[in-house]
Amino acid sequence: MASDQVLPVKGMSDLASPEIELWQHLESTARGVFSRYDLGEVRTPVLEREALFVRSLGDTTDVVQKEMFTLDYQGKLRLTLRPEGTAGAIRYISSCGQEGLSKRIYYIGPMFRAERPQAGRRRQFHQTGAELLGDPNALADAECIAMQVHLLEEWGLKRCRVQINTRGTVQEREAVAQGLRDALNPSFDDLCEDCQRRFEQNVLRVLDCKNPSCQTIVAALPNVVTFMSDDSQAYFKEVQHMLELLDVPYTVNPRLVRGLDYYEHTVWEISHDALGAQDALSGGGRYSIPVEKKAVNGVGFAIGMERIQTALAGEGILPEQFAGKPDVFLVSLGDAALKENMRTAQQWRRDGLACALHTTARSMKAQMRAADRSGAAWVVIRGDNELSEGACQLKNLSAGEQSAVSIDAVPGLIR
């Protein structure tokens, strides 16, 4: 068994070949899709002041109460590894003045949550997220959902399910909470311990409790939209109408609340049947986040990239399909041939060919085995005695055919 010194922390992992090539493909596809929707990339720091997350996500949320990696820096600063990307993105936006309030941005990067690691739940995971800044607007919410669904399709996912709901406005949050408390009150004693605590602090979270007895109670509750204003109900109807217009399939789930406090109006989650209990591929919604004395409004989402990899595997799309392969592997028989192969490879690489070779002398058999493992389509074999004639053997590994050719003809032949 490997020792602790060579293993990463539990719930965190190295990303390397073959997964990394899949991730590079997913990231470049995402950049392409986001640019078609007029979004620009932002890279915010991984470490931020703890207060930023407490203020933005809400101090009664699970993330803030239980899941933040926070360090005390010299007794002066409390710093937190970002558990999500929206808080930092909005901090950046609010540094851009008036112009920031209409920006359209995306981010790709690691997030950290101090959770008990299990399938689908990691301590370091990666999100691809987007934020469209601007005042509440049902059309923008629908555009954001449609963009996300488009991205999932471009990645090759076909079995995603979009569920949407509304949380109403920030102003009517208390009325909604009170309506729910009144409806839950007769069953208070039958709620689980967590929900009894949530009853006062964050009653909406009772709606998505996984405890079977809470679920029975929740199933008999009136739909939360009935506690909302006519305007909020009309806003939500408009989002649904736009999704139909944009050809985005969805279902309304009145029990969907999302775990972060900054949401208002539209919220959504996208799930996939290849994921187990943690079946959310991504989540998003419209939000209002306090910054100094103002509130910054926007709509956005974040997709969990580890879960995307699992969902892709469920649809038969595997990292190995994206493995990088050299165009040609150069086999050297003799010291002079090795040096000459290095010179040739350098020239070919400058011309855009991917070349692999060993820089130490090895047997022909060992080099051919390495060529096979590399996945190269072609092998060039050169011995010291062929150098003066400018000749080599060119072998096509899949066809097994080999012929003597001029070394200068190789790039043209393999292209």
Closer CB to ligand HAM, 80 or 341, in the complex: 80
Pairing of strands 251-252, 263-272: unpaired
Q: Crossing angle of helices 138-154/19-36, nearest 10°?
A: 140
Point out which span in 2-10, 13-21, 120-128, 206-214 binds ligand HAM (CB under 6 A).
Answer: 120-128
Q: Binding-site residue total for ligand HAM (CB under 6 A)?
A: 24
Considering the rule CB under 6 A, would residue 208 count as an interface residue with ligand HAM? no
Considering the rule CB under 6 A, would residue 353 count as an interface residue with ligand HAM? no
Minimum CB–partner distance for residue 251 and ligand HAM (Å): 17
Cα 336 from chain centroid (whole Å): 49
216 φ, ψ (degrees, to nearest 5): -65, -45
Tell me which residues in 86-115 interact with ligand HAM (CB under 6 A): 86, 113, 115
Considering the rule CB under 6 A, would residue 367 count as an interface residue with ligand HAM? no
Distances (CA, A) of 363 to 151, 217, 383, 391: 48, 73, 12, 20
Point out which span in 1-9, 204-212, 274-282, 368-376 binds ligand HAM (CB under 6 A).
Answer: 274-282
Considering the rule CB under 6 A, would residue 58 count as an interface residue with ligand HAM? no
Q: Which two tokens stand for residue 409?
A: 């003809």
Applying CB under 6 A, among 136, 179, 285, 326 the residue interacting with ligand HAM is 285
In terms of phi and psi (left: phi > 0; alpha: psi -120 to 50; beta: otherwise), the region of 152 is alpha
Point out which span in 90-98, 123-131, 132-140, 382-390 binds ligand HAM (CB under 6 A).
Answer: 123-131
Considering the rule CB under 6 A, would residue 202 count as an interface residue with ligand HAM? no
Applying CB under 6 A, among 19, 84, 143, 327 the residue interacting with ligand HAM is 84
Distances (CA, A) of 352 to 24, 214, 261, 327: 19, 62, 51, 10
- The residue of the chain with the least Cβ separation from ligand HAM equals 304
Point out which span in 48-56, 81-89, 243-251, 353-361 binds ligand HAM (CB under 6 A).
Answer: 81-89
Considering the rule CB under 6 A, would residue 53 count as an interface residue with ligand HAM? no
From edge to edge, which strands make up the β-sheet containing 124-133? 40-41, 104-112, 124-133, 294-304, 280-291, 263-272, 160-166, 251-252
Applying CB under 6 A, among 127, 169, 266, 309 the residue interacting with ligand HAM is 127
Distances (CA, A) of 124 to 79, 131, 201, 298, 312: 16, 21, 28, 26, 20
Applying CB under 6 A, among 264, 306, 340, 386 the residue interacting with ligand HAM is 306
Using DSSP, state whether 159 is helix, strand or coil: coil
User: CB within 8 A of 348, min separation 6: which ones?
Assistant: 328, 355, 410, 411
Considering the rule CB under 6 A, would residue 264 count as an interface residue with ligand HAM? no
Point out which span in 23-31, 182-190, 278-286, 344-352 binds ligand HAM (CB under 6 A).
Answer: 278-286
Minimum CB–partner distance for residue 206 and ligand HAM (Å): 18
Point out which span in 126-134, 160-168, 245-253, 369-377 binds ligand HAM (CB under 6 A).
Answer: 126-134
Answer whether the bond into residue 18 is a cis peptide, omega within 30°: yes
Distances (CA, A) of 91 to 85, 94, 229, 287, 288: 10, 5, 30, 14, 13
In terms of phi and psi (left: phi > 0; alpha: psi -120 to 50; beta: otherwise), the region of 204 is alpha
**Half-sphere exposure in the Cβ direction for 89 (13 Å, CA):** 32
Residue 23's CB: how many other CB atoms inside 10 A? 18
Using DSSP, state whether 216 is helix, strand or coil: helix
Applying CB under 6 A, among 125, 235, 250, 378 the residue interacting with ligand HAM is 125
Minimum CB–partner distance for residue 212 and ligand HAM (Å): 23
Applying CB under 6 A, among 281, 312, 330, 380 the residue interacting with ligand HAM is 281
Point out which span in 181-189, 276-284, 311-319, 383-391 binds ligand HAM (CB under 6 A).
Answer: 276-284
Considering the rule CB under 6 A, would residue 307 count as an interface residue with ligand HAM? yes
Closer CB to ligand HAM, 149 or 380, in the complex: 149
Q: Which residues bind ligand HAM (CB under 6 A)?
A: 84-86, 113, 115, 121-122, 125, 127, 129, 131, 280-285, 287, 300-302, 304, 306-307
